[in-house]
Amino acid sequence: MKDMDLESHPTTLQEENRKKVHELLKNTHSRIEKLIQKTYQQKDSATTSQLRQLRTRITGLIAEAEKKELDSFGSHTGNIDEFYENEERFIETPTLLLQEVENALATGENVDVFAISDLVDKMDMGFSHRIELTNKNLSEYENRIGSKKQAEREERERQEKEIREKEQKEAEEKTPAEDKTEMSKTFPSEIKTSSTDDIEDETSVTSDTQAHIKKDELDTETLSKLYSYINILEQKFENHYPEVSYDGEYIADKQWKVELSKKSVRGSIKEGRFKTPMLIVDNYWKSIEDKRDIIEMIQAKASTIEQNQYVSLCFINSSWDQNIKDWARTYSHQRLGFFIYDLLEDDLVYNETDENNRKFAFWHSTNGTRSKLTQIVDQLIEDEEYFDLNDVMEHSGLNLRGAKKFIDSLVKKKALIDVGLDSPKYTRSK
């Protein structure tokens, strides 16, 4: 690990970084406003539209940075080395983002929206993946700083010893032989007593660390249930992939990326020139007890979601307050699906009247089944032998364009043939 400022306690550093990021994002927001005005005056409508979407996302990030509970928002665990490296990146990303926007303002060249968007993506990931401080890595910090102070103390004593020996030698050279005995009493060759300041330093490290431990680690039962749940989701995310988007498009031909940690599972699909996530399915540990806090957090998250993007989000906790569960059963948003999972009761709570929630519940539940599109086609052929696009749309949730794209892919693979008849109809190839 590179040299870190051990005088900054991890929890103090984390809070200071939150404030720095909040200020950097506010400054970036004001520069984005000016950049939008610049591209608007240049009649670059495409860039102006993209910048407005980025401004909305940054507004949401500012709202998250205002919340002190951000410091425990992380869904990842790590040692003290990884913590400091992660915090450095957390500060570095918004700094680079502000620089990129300022450079775009200062030059007459075309705005590199891709570079700005990529940094906003990294900033968004930085918020949800800060390393959570635990007793273990706080103890590791205590050991590190204790070792550092011990090394500094030993070096100081070595230097003091060298000075004493030098002074003693110089004094002996100037003093008559009969006074050497007395002189040796005045300048002992070595002193190994620890100063009061050293003792106080060691005591302050221990008490400071204990004072900064914000919460105990999860108990064994909760941890066991959490890991079991994460393992089940991991198998789903690794062995399956979404085929139908929230708006009925066919997306099985796109890359499904899976990211894992001890307390989270995320899957995403990106598309377009700027590789913007069109779909994010996220599950991670989030302990919240106040209904107001969770409402504000979800509303802030919803404000960051762009057009043509959908997020299906699940917060995991050992148990949830009944008021929060009641609210989750009523929440509905056209681009944000929201779920909460109760570990102790093995209960997934969400608004079951929301069509998209029903579509994505599979990715948050411990069981659940879903029929693959090829299975739906097989069933249609078994029931009627011939089917058309309307049948596919009715049974799959695909829209017309999505159904056509899916069937065309099977025809190209020679899994189906178009038998025509009175209108386009399909059946299995012989």
pLDDT (tens digit per residue) in 47-74: 888 888 889 888 888 888 877 654 444 4
**Model pTM score:** 0.55
Tokens representing 257? Answer: 């990326």
Chain centroid, CA 87 distance in Å: 12
pLDDT category of residue 379 using cuts at 50, 70 and 90:
very high
pLDDT category of residue 105 using cuts at 50, 70 and 90:
confident
pLDDT at res. 209: 45
Residue found by looking up tokens 């050293």 in the block: 198
- Output the average pLDDT for the chain: 81
With contact defined as beta carbons under 8 Å apart, do 230 and 265 qualify?
yes
Stretch 139-150: mean pLDDT, rounded? 73
The winner for highest mean pLDDT among 131-140, 194-203, 208-217 is 131-140
Alpha carbon separation from 235 to 172, 241, 265, 337, 348 (Å, rounded): 79, 11, 10, 21, 18
Report which of 197, 206, 184 is spatially closest to residue 157, judged by C-alpha positions: 197
- Assess whether pLDDT exceeds 90 at residue 186: no
Q: How far apart are CA 254 and CA 235, in angstroms?
A: 19
